């Protein structure tokens, strides 16, 4: 099985399906986040009106082909009701609360971009709230200890015929805009006596009343373009929502 086939099998996992795989000698680290998600206030607040320009502004800020020269884009973006927040996989149910925080004024999803190596991928989605403190709550929710644990389970819970020899998750704080966090999932897969290492990166940044969620996937490492892609989106988001 070549790298592309293995990558597709692991990406299928990240979309939430399949039979369990055998795991040997797990080397899993899921460092607990120290951030505590704010609990909703019992005081009822009047919600600000939705700005009709938010959807258009968010769509214009999304990850685009010009950000990734030489990469190919899927013909259609992922459905707006797909993703880890709209349809959280087993073990990640807490992420579903992100859609229930406050009022969402815009939600847009980019196509999935594939690198010339036909393995590495990048995608991005933006969610805009009517209040900046709701965006802060969304970031705090993603930065819970349960997130690292569920992502590790998610990336190793599928792929018939694959043997996961090790999996680990690293949490990293991001010095971007109004704060961010990245969960880096490294998986070693044994296939036909050979070890293959794949890395998945799930990053969320807050920019004012918007959050930008980016997923990246690669063989051995995440693509170098991942950091640039996140910065490019943040630069476009800040004037509109920062």
How many domains would you assign to the chain?
1
Question: What's the average model confidence in pLDDT over 9-38?
Answer: 38
Task: Tell whether 50 is covered by a domain.
Answer: no
pLDDT tens figures, 25-82: 333 333 333 444 544 444 456 678 888 899 999 999 999 999 999 999 987 655 555 5
Q: Is 147 exposed, middle or buried (0-12, 13-18, 19+ CB in 10 A)?
A: buried
CB 21 within 8 A of CB 164: yes
Task: Tell whether 53 is covered by a domain.
Answer: no
Task: Tell whether 55 is covered by a domain.
Answer: no
Question: What's the average model confidence in pLDDT over 86-92?
Answer: 68
Question: What's the average model confidence in pLDDT over 99-120?
Answer: 89
Task: Tell whether 37 is covered by a domain.
Answer: no
Report the C-alpha gap between 131 and 134 in whole angstroms.
5
pLDDT tens figures, 147-186: 877 776 666 655 445 566 667 788 889 899 899 999 888 8
Token duo for residue 67: 């950000």
How much of the chain exceeds pLDDT 90, in percent? 34
CATH code of the domain containing 112: 3.40.1000
Task: Tell whether 39 is covered by a domain.
Answer: no
Report the C-alpha gap between 69 and 195 in whole angstroms.
31
Provide the pairing of β-strand 180-191 with 163-174.
antiparallel
- Domain hosting 131: range is 3-14+22-32+64-241
Report the C-alpha gap between 37 and 224 in whole angstroms.
31
Token duo for residue 182: 């990245």
Sorted by sequence, the CB contacts under 8 Å of residue 72 that are 6+ apart come out as 113, 114
Task: Tell whether 87 is covered by a domain.
Answer: yes
pLDDT tens figures, 185-204: 887 777 777 777 888 888 99
Report the C-alpha gap between 208 and 234 in whole angstroms.
10
How much of the chain exceeds pLDDT 70, in percent? 68
214: pLDDT strictly greater than 60: yes
Task: Tell whether 108 is covered by a domain.
Answer: yes
């Amino acid at each position: 099985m070549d790298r592309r086939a293995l990558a597709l099998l692991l990406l299928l996992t990240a979309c939430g399906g399949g039979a369990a795989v055998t795991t040997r000698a797990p080397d899993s680290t899921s460092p607990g986040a120290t951030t505590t998600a704010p609990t909703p206030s019992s005081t009822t607040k009047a919600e600000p009106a939705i700005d009709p320009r938010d959807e258009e502004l968010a769509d214009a800020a999304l990850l685009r082909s010009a950000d990734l020269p030489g990469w190919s884009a899927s013909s259609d973006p992922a459905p707006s009701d797909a993703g880890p927040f709209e349809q959280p996989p087993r073990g990640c149910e807490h992420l579903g609360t992100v859609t229930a925080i406050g009022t969402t004024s815009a939600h847009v999803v980019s196509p999935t971009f594939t690198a010339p190596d036909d393995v590495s991928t990048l995608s991005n989605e933006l969610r805009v709230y009517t209040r900046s403190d709701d965006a802060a709550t969304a970031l705090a929710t993603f930065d819970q200890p349960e997130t690292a644990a569920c992502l590790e389970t998610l990336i190793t819970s599928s792929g018939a015929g694959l043997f996961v020899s090790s999996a680990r998750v690293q949490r990293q704080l991001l010095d971007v805009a109004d704060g961010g966090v990245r969960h880096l999932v490294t998986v070693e897969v044994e296939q036909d006596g050979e070890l293959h290492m794949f890395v998945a990166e799930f990053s969320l940044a807050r920019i004012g009343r918007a959050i930008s969620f980016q997923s990246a996937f690669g063989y051995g490492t995440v693509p170098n373009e991942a950091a640039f892609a996140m910065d490019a989106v943040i630069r476009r988001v800040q004037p509109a929502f920062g």
